[in-house]
Structure 1
């Protein structure tokens, strides 16, 4: 008898850590279900969804690049957050075969910040570095949490369009990414009561990519430095931030957080988050 299963799809897909994460949780919970990786190219996407729609055992899939936006018109409905972000990273099959798109990247990104976000602040500012597809969920999530955004990319016009689309309220800024490469002697004012973030939302610093050119003098005192890159986990940006005394958050935190939301949608039960340390050890092995 075929067991219920979910998948992660993308092109390429071999680098995905999702099967390890979901497999770990399925094993810990003793669930009779599977989670797989499936290589799906752009021209295969429509056929893949139609085949899975008819499969009663298929619970849904996680969606990686380059399909997070291309998949939207192929779905029956979108969760409001996915519609706002304009990207889908989780598809769930309903009992009648309908396909609903969700975005769990927003919740996954915000999850390791929950303790800070639960506190009142006089002001919240985030410097987001990179304005590609990964930045969409981060912009939407932080704007909803009351942050003033500084969105830096190679193309400031694109950054301005993203801000207009996802964070139209507020006085946000879109300097070029090169602005942060050189040291600054800017005298930051008193940061008491202020929550500052520096977020690498780009692939820079990933294995095979050049490092992110960010001089730590641009990070306000006490700023949390957050890098969504997962390979390597300890990126040059995070190493520099730790050396300068900043608290840091690595990409595994977001990866596990967004997977946890998806897991519950697929299998109807929350994953065992008290096992996060053991999961992290496995992911870093």
Structure 2
């Protein structure tokens, strides 16, 4: 199957000297084209930006087509390619290397052959989203739901925010063992716990990051809504749910009903995209606040 631009992304690269895109499968829901195009328009950056559906089996060939074209500037990488792409680029930054996942690829065409470098801007996106939600001090009790690549980025973000320990609820703790190893390397002890304890575990947290796909926490939301036990922490806890369509998710609605603050994954997407634009545009990048505002306006996010 040949990778194709999703119909919502518009024409591939007509009238532009450079190309960029978000790749994944499925990709039709992505708001990345709206975010990047708004930033490029603001900066006067002559680059197209598409949403391209690339299946796992087509990923190696697609990467080689990027190398061969000579006019690519960068890729935003989403599921299911964040881990596989690490092995297809020429190098990765230290952060992406430690995490073992990337969400951004820059393409340097200044040498005899294009050089692809992997980055992880999800960590910056998570930090920005949590700070936007009011997390301005080190979390006292932090929880992650799920054990995939976004969980790894979440762990790094919590470490940078000052967390001294993180509890991770997963359905298969054995498969999530690399998160404990990552926590050791970051200096943040990780406790892996069975999924059936997640609902009561959330009551002990002041910061929660759900890395589950849409619908993945719906049953948990019902359990949380049925719990009568009070929260352990008196402060208003924050939930960042990386799923943002539909919004609020059932988990977010249940969290808010119990008095917590909810932050949609759209905030994470916006803040990580600011860093992607910085990487793709280089010296054209001005005050990030201007780019942030343009992106928020493009997707109807609240001004800040």
| TM range, smaller chain | 0.7 to 0.9
Matches of 2:76 and 2:82 in 1, distance apart?
9
Is 2:210 the partner of 1:200? yes
SS in 2 for 1:146: coil
Is 2:145 the partner of 1:125? no
Structure 1's 211 and 4: CA in aligned 2 closer, same or farther, altered over 3 A? farther
SS in 2 for 1:151: strand
Q: Give 1:210 deviation, angstroms.
A: 4.0
Matches of 1:73 and 1:58 in 2, distance apart?
19
Structure 1's 112 and 12: CA in aligned 2 closer, same or farther, altered over 3 A? closer
What TM-score, normalized to structure 1? 0.84
Superposed CA offset, 1:155-174 (max 9, x none): 12233431223445344322
Q: Give 1:29 deviation, angstroms.
A: 3.6
Is 2:146 the partner of 1:146? no
2:91 corresponds to which of 74, 77, 83 = 77
Q: Give 1:35 deviation, angstroms.
A: 0.5
CA contact (8 A) 2:35 2:299 kept: no
Matches of 1:2 and 1:28 in 2, distance apart?
15
Is 2:64 the partner of 1:64? no
Structure 1's 26 and 170: CA in aligned 2 closer, same or farther, altered over 3 A? closer
Superposed CA offset, 1:183-208 (max 9, x none): 99x8x7xxxxxx820221112536xx
Matches of 1:156 and 1:73 in 2, distance apart?
25
1:24 corresponds to which of 18, 22, 38 = 38
Match of 1:88 in 2: 102
2:252 corresponds to which of 238, 251, 256 = 238
Matches of 1:277 and 1:77 in 2, distance apart?
32
Matches of 1:135 and 1:155 in 2, distance apart?
14
CA contact (8 A) 1:131 1:153 kept: yes
Moved more, 12-21 or 90-99: 12-21
Matches of 1:162 and 1:98 in 2, distance apart?
30
Matches of 1:67 and 1:13 in 2, distance apart?
12
Match of 2:233 in 1: 220
Match of 1:41 in 2: 55
Q: Give 1:211 deviation, angstroms.
A: 4.4
Q: Give 1:75 deviation, angstroms.
A: 1.1
Matches of 2:298 and 2:131 in 1, distance apart?
20
CA contact (8 A) 1:111 1:254 kept: yes
CA contact (8 A) 1:139 1:167 kept: no
CA contact (8 A) 1:9 1:61 kept: yes
Matches of 1:80 and 1:150 in 2, distance apart?
24
CA contact (8 A) 2:22 2:33 kept: yes
Structure 1's 282 and 111: CA in aligned 2 closer, same or farther, altered over 3 A? closer
CA contact (8 A) 1:152 1:159 kept: no
Is 2:292 the partner of 1:273? yes
Superposed CA offset, 1:217-266 (max 9, x none): 56733211111101112111221222222122111100111111111111
Match of 2:8 in 1: none
Is 2:195 the partner of 1:177? yes
Is 2:64 the partner of 1:50? yes
Which ranges of structure 1 fall in alignment gaps of 5 or more residues? 189-194
